[in-house]
Amino acid sequence: MADLRGKYRFDLEFTFIHLTDYTLSQFSLLNDNQKQVVGGYLCYKDANGLIRDKKLSQMPLNFGANLSRI
């Protein structure tokens, strides 16, 4: 909700696309349902033109592939 309101100050899209060992370890703290919600939310944002980063919004985002990695 904070992200939709513009109050989440971290770039979740960038973080999720550019997974590092550190971010993978952070996502590993989530259970399967939480991971699905994060992936679904990012797919929703992508499908509805809500990706704020212009570079990311112009490239094919494969959140599903990265979701299977976390």
Q: Compute mean pLDDT per 10 residues along the chain, 70 residues long, and list them.
A: 76 78 87 86 84 62 66
CA distance 21 to 5: 29
Q: Is 14 helix (H, G, I), strand (E, B) or coil?
A: helix
Own/partner contacts of 43-50, CB < 8 Å, gap of 24 or more, are 45/13, 50/4
pLDDT for position 5? 79
Token duo for residue 47:
């499908």
pLDDT for position 64? 64
pLDDT for position 65? 67
Q: Is 29 helix (H, G, I), strand (E, B) or coil?
A: coil
CA distance 23 to 36: 16
